[in-house]
Homo-oligomer: A and B are copies of this chain.
Amino acid sequence: MNTDATGIAPRDEPAIGGDDRVELPAEARVELAVRTAAASRLTRSSRADRGRWLVAIADALEAHRDELVAIAGEETHLSSARLGGEVTRTANQLRFFAGVIDEGSYLEATIDSPDASLVPPRPSLRRMLRPLGVVGVFAASNFPFAFSVLGGDTASALAAGCPVVVKAHPGHPRLSRRITAIAHEALAAAGGPAAALQLVEGIEAGLALVQHPQVTAVGFTGSTRGGRALFDLAAARPAPIPFYGELGSLNPVVVTRAAVARGEGAAAVASGLAGSFTRDGGQYCTKPGIVFVPERSGFEAALVAALSADAVPAPQRLLTEAIAAAFDRGSVELAERDDVEPVFAGERAADVAAPVVVATSVGAFVAAHETFLEERFGPVTVLVRYSSDEQLTAALGLLEGSLTASIQHAPGEDVTALAEMLEPVAGRLVFNGWPTGVAIAWGQHHGGGWPATTASVHTSVGATAIRRWLAPATWQDAPATVLPPELADGNPLGVPRREDGVLVAPVRSEA
């Protein structure tokens, strides 16, 4: 494969001839992108090759850091420090998935030898996971690197062996095109199939992508409304496909009375919360949007003090004008409600969004919980004042699925009952920490029940994110010549396998 095979040319240099194709109707552009991606035959590539290609893309991304951060800064208004960190995160994530496929457990390789004495009798069965085929990935606005063209969905899908057609986010079109071009160059230079990564733009293209017969699954990060509309489309196809949507999330926090009983405790928790919900303009899917605080504990004063201090990030210009307008409208509506009290309102300037905190009672929260449980993007959070465990329990019982739930507690305090209450709600339970900041790790989980995701049994961050792009296959009594090497006798590639029910993790010699 070479860069000529990529089909849709990167569009940052229109003079090179990409424009003809851009003028095609959305369905034709998607058709071309999907067919080109499929023709890459990435599904037949080896894990070793894909690992090298992922690392080559990661290296290229970092090599272009300054140029990319500059474009991203213009398009998203996020700070250079934040964007630079995000480039590192994105490159590390690509390398992380290279490691995941090198290790090989993700294949779930399983070998059962024949046993005619069983009921029913068992033939020779060899099973492993295989790539689904071409997948669609919808980029998010708030992470122009880590949840965009080369973000976690793309990295995990390419690692799995699935060619990817990315639907660019309109919030950073130039960056999306430039990153695609860099990835194509890196793949071609490493001898990889550049065609395996395709970029399409525009709402119509997104709709066509979800409905394309050759698309086998979709990953999405974005709003509940948009995600639900696409999920419905995916489910309504003649042949339905999995739609892995990471949608809105409220990320409830419970602050126990003991956590803020001492003055320094209140100050520390308040400072942590102030930093977390305002971070990068509160534009995180893990932003704490609702915080259950003990009534008359002094916590609110500590929070106001923290938000007034210099330590809090400067007010942030939000990603897009639509997001800024929705934030302004939403925070005004919230502050004007009869059942809330203003706690803090930062100084608003023309271009920037300043922090907003309101408080309400458990009674008001229970009465109007559907409104309070709506996700609000931007630096705003709602405190719910509770006076007793009973009140807290009643309120927590109304929570819906969320990516995270956090408990701020005193050292040694027994929070077992609280944790049990929050477990069914959240994909990740955080103790004496803040939900913003999602580590890339084998043990990470970034998911949760509806409306946090459309596919509660899967994750979009962490090693097992790769599982979304794979389906099992079993070979029964197969001749050795047709078996993938990971299922061959003697385990020549040394992957962890289950052999006749026993998990065998081979000791691997490092090269």
Minimum CB–CB distance from A369 to chain B (whole Å) comes to: 15
A63 proximal to B (CB < 8 A): no
A415 touches B123 (CB 8 A): no
Interface of chain A residues 93 through 121 with chain B (CB within 8 A): 99, 103, 105, 108, 110-112, 118-121
B457 touches A242 (CB 8 A): yes
A491 proximal to B (CB < 8 A): no
Complex Cα spacing A473 to B426, Å: 8
Interface of chain A residues 469 through 493 with chain B (CB within 8 A): 470-479, 481-482
Query: In the assembled complex, which residues on chain B have CB atoms less than 8 Å from the CB atom of A472?
Result: 427, 445, 447, 457-459, 464
A132 touches B440 (CB 8 A): no
A424 proximal to B (CB < 8 A): yes
With A125-B441, A427-B473: A503-B501 Cβ-Cβ less than 8 Å:
no
Report which of B430, B444, B501 forms a contact with A477, defined as CB distance below 8 A: B430
Complex Cα spacing A451 to B241, Å: 11
B437 touches A498 (CB 8 A): no
Interface of chain A residues 451 through 470 with chain B (CB within 8 A): 451, 454-459, 462-464, 467-468, 470
A345 proximal to B (CB < 8 A): no
Complex Cα spacing A112 to B443, Å: 6
Report which of B111, B133, B504 forms a contact with A505, defined as CB distance below 8 A: B504
Query: In the assembled complex, which residues on chain B have CB atoms less than 8 Å from the CB atom of A478?
Result: 419, 429, 431
A451 touches B112 (CB 8 A): no
Which of A189-197, A231-239, A263-271, A375-383 forms contacts with chain B? A231-239
Query: In the assembled complex, which residues on chain B have CB atoms less than 8 Å from the CB atom of A463?
Result: 110
Which of A13-21, A25-33, A50-58, A84-92 forms contacts with chain B? A84-92
Query: In the assembled complex, which residues on chain B have CB atoms less than 8 Å from the CB atom of A432?
Result: 477
Minimum CB–CB distance from A344 to chain B (whole Å) comes to: 27
Minimum CB–CB distance from A283 to chain B (whole Å) comes to: 16
A residues adjacent to B (C-beta < 8 A): 85, 88-89, 92, 99, 103, 105, 108, 110-112, 118-123, 125-127, 130, 132-133, 216-217, 231-232, 235-236, 239-242, 400-401, 414-416, 419, 423-424, 426-433, 437-445, 447, 449-451, 454-459, 462-464, 467-468, 470-479, 481-482, 496, 498, 500-501, 503-505
With A235-B235, A449-B239: A464-B123 Cβ-Cβ less than 8 Å:
no
User: How many identical chains are in the complex?
Assistant: 2
Interface centre among A133, A231, A401, A455 (most CB of B within 10 A): A455
A474 touches B240 (CB 8 A): no
A118 touches B439 (CB 8 A): yes
Query: In the assembled complex, which residues on chain B have CB atoms less than 8 Å from the CB atom of A122?
Result: 439-441
Known: A105-B498, A445-B473, A447-B472; 19 extra A-B contacts, CB below 8 A, are A92-B118, A103-B503, A110-B443, A111-B443, A112-B442, A112-B444, A121-B437, A125-B441, A127-B462, A130-B423, A232-B235, A235-B240, A427-B471, A428-B476, A429-B474, A429-B476, A431-B476, A431-B482, A458-B472
Complex Cα spacing A431 to B477, Å: 6
Complex Cα spacing A380 to B190, Å: 53
With A85-B119, A130-B423, A242-B457: A482-B415 Cβ-Cβ less than 8 Å:
yes
Interface centre among A85, A125, A450 (most CB of B within 10 A): A125
For this complex, 5 residue pairs linking A to B, each with C-beta atoms less than 8 Å apart, are A123-B433, A231-B235, A428-B474, A433-B476, A443-B498
Query: In the assembled complex, which residues on chain B have CB atoms less than 8 Å from the CB atom of A108?
Result: 464
Residue ID in chain B nearest A441 by CB atoms: B112
Query: In the assembled complex, which residues on chain B have CB atoms less than 8 Å from the CB atom of A400?
Result: 239
B103 touches A479 (CB 8 A): no
B132 touches A474 (CB 8 A): no
Query: In the assembled complex, which residues on chain B have CB atoms less than 8 Å from the CB atom of A431?
Result: 475-479, 482
B474 touches A125 (CB 8 A): no
Residue ID in chain B nearest A90 by CB atoms: B119
Query: In the assembled complex, which residues on chain B have CB atoms less than 8 Å from the CB atom of A443?
Result: 110-112, 125-127, 474, 498
Complex Cα spacing A89 to B477, Å: 21
